[in-house]
Amino acid sequence: MKRLLPDTLFGRLFLLVLAAIMVSHLMTFALLLLIYGERDHHGPPPDARPPTEMHAPSAAGHHHPPPASVIIAGHAIRRPPLNFWIGIASQLFALTVAAWFGARMLARPMQRLAHAASRLGASLDQPAIAESGSSEERQAARNFNRMQQRIRKGVEERGRFLAAVSHDLRTPLTRMKLRVERLNDDAARDKLGEDIEEMAAMLNATLDYLRDEASAEGWQLLDITALLESMAEDAQELEHDVTLAGAARPVTTRPLALRRCLSNLLQNALRYGHSARIVLKDEDDRLQIEIRDAGPGIPEDQMEQVFEPFVRLEHSRNRATGGVGLGLAIAREAATQCGGSLVLENAAQGGLIARLTLPRAQD
């Protein structure tokens, strides 16, 4: 039954009202047909009826009913006049049009809230929706705007708090680093120095992540092929195994956010896969950038978990390759700022594929 129903609220409302109109008209037609039949069956006595033209009997000896009659259950029932059908058709057309506009008017507020929620999911820096329409529409819009303000305020307060903590921790870390350098024990000095460097890297990554969330970069037309060629050449100069395949037309995006996303994905591939193969796929409505490595891949049940801040897989928790756990989180946040999406996928022949998809709707 659900498969027969339209998928949209507008379609379901329109179908419901249209069904009610059709049922009411069928009931009215049946009632009027019954009334016309009763009048014909229990009409005035023969002497009170006006003289009518006799109809010739058929070959079997039966008389045909009048031309404006039909035979139902052995009784001749008079057909309604043409004006009756015209009136019914006019009412049905008018009510169908009214149902269409009414369903559209009722579904429009839901569509507006859905679009606003979609824009809010992409960025918190969205204008408030207009508080207009009926009282229910105004109340829903007002509550949505208040929710948006509370979410934005909470995110800003969290960012300020973490930024303040990260910034304030730099001073004692610097003092610790200076004191460790004065130690005479080389082994202890090296271990403590590594711990301090790791803490400093975590603080820097945290500040970068918060800075990415708060950034509001403008849209620009970017030569994506030239950008990837430059990044690949820079990595090759450092003796990294990086190749680029394919080309693409320029895309309208946020250049700094896109570069940050690609840089983190490239570093992730080189850190865990020791190589990176960049593949460009240009299509009419979207642009796909795949960065493939030759590493061990990621378990399927942890594909989304690795995008959470400070999450690192068990086999990568070491100072040599583990990182801080913010690289993929920053990459996905940057992809979202560019209006795109970022997903991970294990390659059939081994390794991990990071697929960045950018729409061409703004081009």
Distances (CA, A) of 355 to 266, 293, 352: 12, 12, 10
Confidence of residue 14 (pLDDT cuts 50, 70, 90): confident
Confidence of residue 48 (pLDDT cuts 50, 70, 90): very low
* Tokens of residue 310, six digits: 């400070």
* Residue 278 pLDDT exceeds 90: yes
- Tell me, rounded to whole angstroms, the distance of Cα 357 from its chain centroid: 14
Name the residue with higher pLDDT: 205 or 195: 195
**pLDDT tens profile 125-139:** 778 888 887 777 788
User: Per-domain residue ranges for the chain?
Assistant: 2-48+63-119, 154-214, 220-359
Confidence of residue 47 (pLDDT cuts 50, 70, 90): very low
Residue 246: closest CA among 232, 260, 266: 232
Residue 344: closest CA among 331, 336, 354, 334: 354
Rounded average pLDDT over 80-103: 77
CB 61 within 8 A of CB 68: no
Percentage above 90 pLDDT, the chain: 23
Give the model's pLDDT for residue 69.
Answer: 52
Total-model pTM:
0.55
Residue 295: closest CA among 349, 352, 235, 355: 352
Give the model's pLDDT for residue 237.
Answer: 92
CB 207 within 8 A of CB 166: yes
**pLDDT tens profile 236-252:** 999 999 999 999 999 99
Distance CA 309, CA 329 (A): 6
Q: Which of 12-26, 113-127, 187-201, 303-317 shows the lowest mean pLDDT across its residues? A: 303-317
Distance CA 38, CA 78 (A): 10
Name the residue with higher pLDDT: 357 or 153: 357
Q: Which of 5-9, 101-105, 219-223, 314-318 shows the lowest mean pLDDT across its residues? A: 314-318
* Residue 229 pLDDT exceeds 90: yes
Percentage above 70 pLDDT, the chain: 77
Amino acid at 304: E
Distance CA 313, CA 219 (A): 35
Give the model's pLDDT for residue 293.
Answer: 93
CATH top class, domain 220-359: alpha beta
* Residue 181 pLDDT exceeds 70: yes
Mean pLDDT of the chain: 78
User: What is the residue-wise DSSP string for 110-177?
Assistant: HHHHHHHHHHHHH-S--PPPP--SSHHHHHHHHHHHHHHHHHHHHHHHHHHHHHHHHHHHHHHHHHHH
Rounded average pLDDT over 267-288: 92
Name the residue with higher pLDDT: 127 or 292: 292
Confidence of residue 89 (pLDDT cuts 50, 70, 90): confident
* Tokens of residue 84, six digits: 């009756």
CB 274 within 8 A of CB 293: yes
